[in-house]
Amino acid sequence: MSLWDSLLIPERERDQLRRDVASSRPTHAWLFTGAAGAPHREAAKVFAAALLCEQPDPQNRGCGECKGCVTVMNGSHADFTHFRTEATNISIEEARELVMKAQDRPTVGRWRVILLEDTERMPERTSNVLLKAIEEPPPHTIWLLTAPSPTDVLVTIRSRCRPVQLPVPSEEQVHGYLLSRGVADPLARRAARLAMGDAEEGYRLATDEQAMARREMTTSLILNVRSISSAFSAAEKLTDLAEQDAQAVSAAKDERERAELMALLGIREGERVAPTLRAQVRRLEDQQKRRAKRVASDTLLHSVAQVQTVLRDALTLSLSAQLPLINEHLREPLTAWCERRSPEQLLQDVQAVEITLRRLRTNANARLALEALMSRFVA
Ligand SMILES: [Zn+2]
């Protein structure tokens, strides 16, 4: 299976990216966009791997097996810089550092590839630092930017990049993907529904019983809120579940990437890492540490978004719409629960979740934000 096969993106975009990767002069700046659940970040990373893939036939680039592909995917490739931020804004210093990095010649690969996520978090002053670097990068450098939508990115930046807009995959597509990876129904259907378009998330839920249990527990939290004290403990539980989930995701990824890198470097289990190879192992460890923080905040956002799906289901039930529920496992308790809430109230609840998500994204105190949210559901 090549890296392209795991991406649920439209044929047209896939062909465009594969054609460019095989050409001798790929476009030097790209902007990958997509809403939550869309595979725009994954697509940018696969594209980076394919640019640095070591397959001799350009048509096969993005094989997923060579040293170039594996080390880009785990972030330890010497010519690949993957930047994403924890902060609300990308600072000028961080942007300058990336611009400096972009000047370096590649050391082992064909290109120097800079993947800059969260471009929407770049204030105008910061983006000015990037403008020239993106417009006329050195001939060996390729910039890959990501953002939720093109309009989230300043027009000066956007207009210098080739756009790749990716839709959120449908439940059907995720379902088909899970079946193709050997997950059987009804589990494949259940996981596809809960994954909200995110294929990898669907696969994780389908193959990790505990992850599925945590997810279902998260969705039932608001149904058990009776008093202010139970609202506060629901907020605490939600944070705990998100933390456990983030740790599980990070641990599984870290272990797999380390094993892959060790195999590539020819180091056996328990063997000492030769001094010449240490830099590469350290790069992987640094990358993993930075990622763990990000996974934690993303997972919390994802958990709150999951609460929103419960409210949407409640709205579906209270309007007697004959539609399948995302949280089909909650149909019975949810039917009872929404008898106590009017559709107007539910709409306000959905908006309250929206506000909570915004506050969490701007690094508000998570505990306070979640307690305020859960307190709405005191019966
Ligand atoms: Zn490869």
Q: Where are the domains of the chain?
A: 3-168, 170-207, 209-375
Distance of CA 46 from the midpoint of ligand 1 (Å): 10
363, amino acid identity: N
CATH superfamily of domain region 3-168: P-loop containing nucleotide triphosphate hydrolases (3.40.50.300)
Distance of CA 116 from the midpoint of ligand 1 (Å): 21
Q: CB 88: neighbour CB atoms within 10 A? A: 11
Distance of CA 35 from the midpoint of ligand 1 (Å): 28
What's residue 284's pLDDT?
A: 86
Question: Quick check: 293 pLDDT over 90?
Answer: no
Q: Are 300 and 190 in contact (CB under 8 A)?
A: no
Distance of CA 235 from the midpoint of ligand 1 (Å): 44
What's residue 105's pLDDT?
A: 94
Distance of CA 243 from the midpoint of ligand 1 (Å): 34
Distance of CA 201 from the midpoint of ligand 1 (Å): 24
Distance of CA 359 from the midpoint of ligand 1 (Å): 40
Q: Choose between 153 and 272: higher pLDDT.
A: 153
Distance of CA 98 from the midpoint of ligand 1 (Å): 25
Alpha carbon 268 to its chain's center: 31
Closest Cα to residue 349, out of 321, 324, 378?
378
Q: Across the chain, which distance is largest between two alpha carbons, in Å?
A: 66
Structure tokens at 35: 């809403």
Angle at 71 between CA 66 and CA 73, to 5 degrees: 100
pLDDT-above-70 percentage for the chain: 100
pLDDT-above-90 percentage for the chain: 67
Distance of CA 334 from the midpoint of ligand 1 (Å): 48
What's residue 274's pLDDT?
A: 82
Task: Please name the residues in contact with 331: beta carbons below 8 A apart, sequence gap of 6 or more.
Answer: 317, 325
Structure tokens at 298: 């993303």
Distance of CA 24 from the midpoint of ligand 1 (Å): 17
Distance of CA 71 from the midpoint of ligand 1 (Å): 10
Average of pLDDT values for 273-289? 84
Distance of CA 51 from the midpoint of ligand 1 (Å): 9
Q: What are the pLDDT digits (tens) for 225-278?
A: 999 999 999 999 999 999 999 999 899 889 888 888 888 888 887 888 888 888
Distance of CA 65 from the midpoint of ligand 1 (Å): 5
Question: Quick check: 364 pLDDT over 80?
Answer: no
Distance of CA 21 from the midpoint of ligand 1 (Å): 12
Measured CA to CA, the distance from residue 13 to residue 2 in angstroms comes to: 16
Token pair 């989930």: residue: 245
Average pLDDT over the chain, rounded to an integer = 91
Distance of CA 72 from the midpoint of ligand 1 (Å): 9
- The sign of the torsion formed by the CA atoms of 285, 287, 292, 293 equals positive
DSSP 23: S
What's residue 177's pLDDT?
A: 93
Helix or strand holding residue 64 (H, E): none
Average of pLDDT values for 121-131? 89
What's residue 253's pLDDT?
A: 87
Band of pLDDT at residue 287, cut at 50, 70 and 90: confident
What's residue 379's pLDDT?
A: 72
Distance of CA 62 from the midpoint of ligand 1 (Å): 5
Task: Please name the residues in contact with 276: beta carbons below 8 A apart, sequence gap of 6 or more.
Answer: none
Q: What are the pLDDT digits (tens) for 39-79?
A: 999 999 999 999 999 999 999 999 999 999 999 998 889 99
What's residue 351's pLDDT?
A: 95
Q: Are 114 and 143 in contact (CB under 8 A)?
A: yes
Distance of CA 301 from the midpoint of ligand 1 (Å): 33
Q: What are the pLDDT digits (tens) for 78-90?
A: 999 999 887 778 8
What's residue 32's pLDDT?
A: 97
Distance of CA 337 from the midpoint of ligand 1 (Å): 52
Structure tokens at 375: 């307190």
Distance of CA 378 from the midpoint of ligand 1 (Å): 54
Question: Quick check: 101 pLDDT over 80?
Answer: yes
Question: Quick check: 183 pLDDT over 90?
Answer: yes
What's residue 38's pLDDT?
A: 92
Which stretches within the chain are classed as H helix?
11-22, 40-51, 67-73, 92-103, 124-135, 155-158, 171-180, 187-194, 199-207, 209-220, 228-265, 275-318, 331-337, 343-361, 366-375
Distance of CA 70 from the midpoint of ligand 1 (Å): 7
Band of pLDDT at residue 171, cut at 50, 70 and 90: very high
Question: Quick check: 295 pLDDT over 90?
Answer: no
Distance of CA 346 from the midpoint of ligand 1 (Å): 49
DSSP helix/strand/coil, 229: helix
Distance of CA 69 from the midpoint of ligand 1 (Å): 4
Residue 320: what are its φ and ψ, rounded to 5°? 50, 30
Distance of CA 7 from the midpoint of ligand 1 (Å): 15
Q: Are 103 and 143 in contact (CB under 8 A)?
A: no
Distance of CA 68 from the midpoint of ligand 1 (Å): 6
